[in-house]
Amino acid sequence: MARETPTSTTNPTPRSQSEADALIFNVAGLLGEPAGTVQDIVVACPALDPGAGPVQTRGITGELRFSRTNRGLLVRGRLSTAIALICSRCLRDIDCPVEIKLDDEALPSLDLGTGVPVETEDDVDVLRLTTHHELDLNGVVRDAIALAEPIAPICREDCLGLCIVCGLELSGGPHDHPDEDIDPRLEGLRQLIDSPDAESPAARPNSHRR
């Protein structure tokens, strides 16, 4: 759901927003206003379909301001959500907060005066309003979430990760291994320590006892 709170004199018709169009805003009213008119939007919508990107663990909240420019709309604001990741050191599930900062100009795909489609082939990177004068932020926000995904997420700065011998978490406190796990190259030394009274010359090659 997004609550629209226009600060201009026009009152856009309130709409109920389903999950599918949670980040789609009808801006026809604002486009009819003079440059400089602003509209503030409070966003509180469900998580997006992640596609191939990271899965959101909560919905999207935040505030946006749409400002009418000479050419179209300026879209500014901050949104926040969180994504599900796995700590790259200890493999624990983590809930990683994501902040999305938007600062984009959205241009009409129809000439506002004539209704003729605008030539858009040259600027594929420009955010375009739909032919129904809707601002669809789903793609922009989904891209921003994917970009915010850290390459090597960690559950906390001092996560020590897992022991390479036993696989247990090293952050859990003192970490000792029983002798069975000792490095095989040190096996001879262990036998010396375990059997100080052994008389076998093989076990005590440096013994000077008689």
Interface ranges with Zn ion (CB under 5 A): 87, 89-90, 92, 155, 159, 163, 165-166
Closer CB to Zn ion, residue 79 or residue 94? 94
Closer CB to Zn ion, residue 101 or residue 175? 175
Give the shortest CB-150-to-Zn ion separation in angstroms: 13
User: How far apart (Å, rounded) are the C-alpha atoms in residues 203 and 199?
Assistant: 8
Give the shortest CB-58-to-Zn ion separation in angstroms: 21
Give the shortest CB-174-to-Zn ion separation in angstroms: 11
- Residue 168's identity, in one-letter code, is L
Per the CB < 8 A criterion, the answer to whether 167 and 60 are in contact is no
> Which residue has the CB atom at the shortest distance from Zn ion?
163
Residue ranges of E strands in the chain: 2-6, 24-26, 38-45, 60-68, 73-86, 93-107, 127-128, 134-136
Give the shortest CB-82-to-Zn ion separation in angstroms: 17
Neighbours of 152 (CB within 10 A): 8
Per the CB < 8 A criterion, the answer to whether 145 and 56 are in contact is yes
Closer CB to Zn ion, residue 44 or residue 166? 166
Closer CB to Zn ion, residue 30 or residue 155? 155
